[in-house]
Structure 1
């Protein structure tokens, strides 16, 4: 954007009180100054933005209705903690790089991708991956509370969504919608036509208006329930299916190495016997072995424990099917 256009945007945002346009314009000016190697000025602009953000955030969180709309988790999981298919892993690394190098992109009038949709059966890393984005980018991780968003009064859900998005736009963060289909469902749903249409329309409008420094991540176990227009709003769509046999083997090997305790049965054989379980269930199986081993010390026999617990878990899997 030309310097004259940036100045016009800055003046317009001041006159109209548009905090979002103001922030985007100042960030663009800062990026331009960095390209010119005017680092001192760029740093002063960035610091002013951060102080403004903190003040706005403090004011917003005093709203008791907002406090019921989301909660914050301190992110700890890293991308390296998650077993992903190569294509999904590379895509995640690209997004992280885009945000780390956002100043360079903005100097060419480009923005990093920041709207991500995760789909797949439960227990395969959607929440963990959302948390990993926050960890890798050192951002606050906000999780939406649907009971604080979805109201029984007509129009209250859309109003609460508006409040939520207004708040998160005041700072850099990751906003996570688990079970996104709960409010992003198809507008042709014959059972809930009126209110659902209003909610989805409000949701789509707010997603479109999100600045790139807010990373919104939706997760769904039922992708077919999502409104078709919702799919188009997301820059990136990542599928997280059940683990393949190779991925299950890798998980077993990682757990055995982290505990310095081989399971006594080849990872390949474990993966075959437990095919059909999610990543979360496979992790719980490994932790189950570890618990039995620790509680049986000093006489624990890990191979015997693995054989016994494998039969129990295999029977559970058969009943599940």
Structure 2
């Protein structure tokens, strides 16, 4: 966070209407935050004070690591997600603990920073990781398995070490989607010695991870995870397919976001699309609005919805 004297000067310049000095001070804040590796905050401040929306140069180290980790600019917020009460509470607690980490440390307590998300695909695991990064105003780094996993003996573990070394050096959210790819149960007799070495490396690196790095793991198959890897996560949340009430609420939100109704009442649509994931509901709503726009001015919304419902059901039955 920027120095107190800099913030005081910034507020004073704004109150006095000194736009030039205000801009200079904001630029000083941007430089300080970038020096502290708070690149997402620095970029957002740059976008606010520039007309082009282009900030200063990004993290050079992140560019050098792009084969192992991918940086994603987070957009989603927790308020945009439809979460069941228990997962919603524990995820909000993680965010609060990270935001108020200094208070916790003054009492000798570290904030929790490792959360495992499990459940069927399409129900928000990636979105939760993105929302955590947004709420904390931190960059989101996603592990790239195609860059980490190698056919050469020992190479995968070495690359994994490099990725973790990169993450430890900055405040960030570090996301492992499909964690079971490299954290498989070591007791499985079908697994090779190499994957067992990779899992051991992963466990060691997780243990060494500082509290300022939020590690988010996601898996569709929690039963495949090594038990020791599973225990490394302080918080575990199951993200299940939406209930009828959740699907109804989400369809209402989607109709508002896409700028129009969806042909039927959200509750009726929720019944017709029973069993759909959040991702499938979003894609359905977007598909309906897309066809509605393309058929203007003679749009028959109810016919579009009926056709799309039949198509979704046929795919779900396959």
In structure 2, C-alpha distance between the alignment counterparts of 1:176 and 1:247, rounded to whole Å: 26
- Tell me what 1:316 maps to: 315
Shift of 1:314: 2.3
TM-score, structure 2 as length reference: 0.80
2:200 equivalent to 1:201 = yes
2:309 equivalent to 1:307 = no
Deviations 1:212-247 (A, max 9, x none): 000111110111100000111001111111111111
In structure 2, C-alpha distance between the alignment counterparts of 1:198 and 1:240, rounded to whole Å: 30
- Tell me what 1:11 maps to: none
Residues 263 and 156 (structure 1), Cα distance of their counterparts in 2 relative to 1, 3 Å cut:
same
* C-alpha contact 2:262 2:289 (8 A) present in aligned 1: no
In structure 2, C-alpha distance between the alignment counterparts of 1:52 and 1:307, rounded to whole Å: 53
RMSD, aligned α-carbons: 2.3
- Tell me what 2:140 maps to: 141
* C-alpha contact 2:62 2:71 (8 A) present in aligned 1: no
* C-alpha contact 2:157 2:197 (8 A) present in aligned 1: yes
- Tell me what 1:281 maps to: 280
Local SS of the residue matching 2:152:
coil
In structure 1, C-alpha distance between the alignment counterparts of 2:282 and 2:269, rounded to whole Å: 12
What pairs up with 1:228-307 in 2 under 5 angstroms? 228-307=227-306
In structure 2, C-alpha distance between the alignment counterparts of 1:108 and 1:59, rounded to whole Å: 36
Shift of 1:257: 2.3
In structure 2, C-alpha distance between the alignment counterparts of 1:49 and 1:256, rounded to whole Å: 38
What pairs up with 1:99-178 in 2 under 5 angstroms? 99-178=98-177
Shift of 1:307: 2.2
Consecutive unaligned residues in structure 1, runs of 5 or more:
1-29, 31-37, 41-46
In structure 1, C-alpha distance between the alignment counterparts of 2:34 and 2:314, rounded to whole Å: 55
In structure 1, C-alpha distance between the alignment counterparts of 2:213 and 2:267, rounded to whole Å: 41
Residues 60 and 292 (structure 1), Cα distance of their counterparts in 2 relative to 1, 3 Å cut:
closer
Deviations 1:161-186 (A, max 9, x none): 11111111111001101110000110
Deviations 1:252-304 (A, max 9, x none): 11122223422232222211221122111111110111011101111112223
- Tell me what 2:48 maps to: none
Q: 277-286 vs 298-307, which deviates more?
A: 298-307
Shift of 1:144: 0.5
In structure 2, C-alpha distance between the alignment counterparts of 1:39 and 1:296, rounded to whole Å: 56
Shift of 1:156: 1.1
Residues 109 and 244 (structure 1), Cα distance of their counterparts in 2 relative to 1, 3 Å cut:
same
In structure 1, C-alpha distance between the alignment counterparts of 2:167 and 2:282, rounded to whole Å: 33
TM-score, structure 1 as length reference: 0.79
- Tell me what 2:221 maps to: 222
Shift of 1:53: 5.6
Residues 61 and 273 (structure 1), Cα distance of their counterparts in 2 relative to 1, 3 Å cut:
closer
* C-alpha contact 2:258 2:286 (8 A) present in aligned 1: no
Local SS of the residue matching 2:186:
coil
2:209 equivalent to 1:210 = yes
Residues 242 and 169 (structure 1), Cα distance of their counterparts in 2 relative to 1, 3 Å cut:
same
Q: 272-281 vs 210-219, which deviates more?
A: 272-281
Consecutive unaligned residues in structure 2, runs of 5 or more:
6-30, 39-57
